[in-house]
Structure 1
Amino acid sequence: MTVSLKLLSKDEKHILRNLYSLYLHDLSEFTDGLNISTSGSFEFDSFELIWERDGVTPYFLKKNQVIVGFLLLLERPFLNNDYDFSINDIFMLKKFRRKGIAISLLEELFKQKKGRYFVVELAENKPAVLFWRKIYRELDIVFEEEKKIVDNEECLVQSFQI
């Protein structure tokens, strides 16, 4: 199995938009703040920011050259000086979950991008909370966690050093 992170080009943003709708659909189970649009999809209202701001980097997650998900990495100057990176969003198509792909991809990301990270999960999103705890355990990452209200939602915020 070959897994890789691939930077998106602007001409691939329509693919990311489709994947983002699936991601937001999955998240809608855990929050009342996400609803389907009149066009029949879930839309990320700040989607164009990805292409307009420095410090917002989208990656495709690939297995054997096939897109299986995406990762949205925030970095400076988008973040304050307390952190170097934030994994803002990570999404894997359901049929590729629980196969070790995400761990391999995150391990690759952490080899490329060393620094202070933070991750935010909706507290109600138990699959995401369990996912990140498994990542920390399997990659032997020591993390700090606190509960915070983010965008009127109870969240868990984890920070760690790579």
Structure 2
Amino acid sequence: MKIEVRKFKENEVGLLSSLWQFYAYHQSTFNGDSVSEKGLFDIDDDYLADVVQGIEDCEAWLICVDNAVAGFVTLESTEIAGREMPELSDIFVLPKYRNLGIATFVIDKLLLNSGNEWHVAVYNEDRTAYDFWLHLFAKLPIKSVEELSPPENDEFHEFVIQNS
């Protein structure tokens, strides 16, 4: 299995927008969002275009497995616990590609070498994601994980991860 993680190209904004629909569908379980009368979640395509073009302070990365689209990840700078740090703001792997170590590969590639610390937040009700992260934290080569209590946003479990 060959996993590739690369930034979206400018002509792939439509791909990112389509993947974001699947992600929004999944997230709607936790955030209560509904589809419009057109049957789509409200996705700001102009914002996504700006992200892909590097205009926004956010990076969008495409995940491919054996040259097939498998998901995406976004990273952005955030201030949490009074400090600036990178945040894994969104990660989505299509169901077909889950439980194959792809998310772990992506996190290793993009965040473990990103600096001393980074942030991740998980919806309180998303038990699957919460368990995934706890399991991952136990096996990653990191110095420490601090779950913010109370979190800065009470909809989420929030973690600050210290790289070794």
Range class of TM-score, shorter chain: 0.7 to 0.9
Q: Give the alignment's TM-score, normalised by structure 1.
A: 0.85
Which blocks of at least 5 consecutive residues in structure 2 are unaligned?
none
Q: Does 1:87 align with 2:88?
A: yes
Alpha-carbon deviation of 1:10?
2.1
**AA at the equivalent of 1:104:** F
Pairing 1:23-38 to 2, within 5 Å after superposition: 23-32=23-32, 34-38=33-37
| C-alpha contact 1:85 1:115 (8 A) present in aligned 2 | no
* Structure 1 pair 54–28 and aligned structure 2 pair: CA distance change class (3 A): closer
Give the number of equivalent residue pairs: 155
- Percent identity of paired positions between Structure 1 and Structure 2: 23
Aligned to 1:13: 13
Output one character per residue of 1:101-125: Cα deviation in whole Å (capped at 9) or x when no partner. Answer: 1111211113552232111111001
Alpha-carbon deviation of 1:17?
0.4
Alpha-carbon deviation of 1:83?
2.8
C-alpha distance in structure 2 between counterparts of 1:39 and 1:74, whole Å:
30
C-alpha distance in structure 1 between counterparts of 2:97 and 2:104, whole Å:
12
Pairing 1:76-155 to 2, within 5 Å after superposition: 79-80=78-79, 82-141=83-142, 142-146=144-148, 147-148=150-151, 150=153, 154-155=155-156
Give the counterpart of 1:56 among 52, 55, 58.
Answer: 58
Q: CA RMSD in A?
A: 2.0
Which blocks of at least 5 consecutive residues in structure 1 are unaligned?
none
| C-alpha contact 2:111 2:118 (8 A) present in aligned 1 | no
* Displaced runs of 4 or more, over 4 A: none
Aligned to 2:67: 65
SS for the counterpart of 2:111 is helix
Aligned to 2:161: 160
| C-alpha contact 2:8 2:60 (8 A) present in aligned 1 | yes
**AA at the equivalent of 2:46:** E
Q: Give the alignment's TM-score, normalised by structure 2.
A: 0.84
C-alpha distance in structure 2 between counterparts of 1:103 and 1:74, whole Å:
18
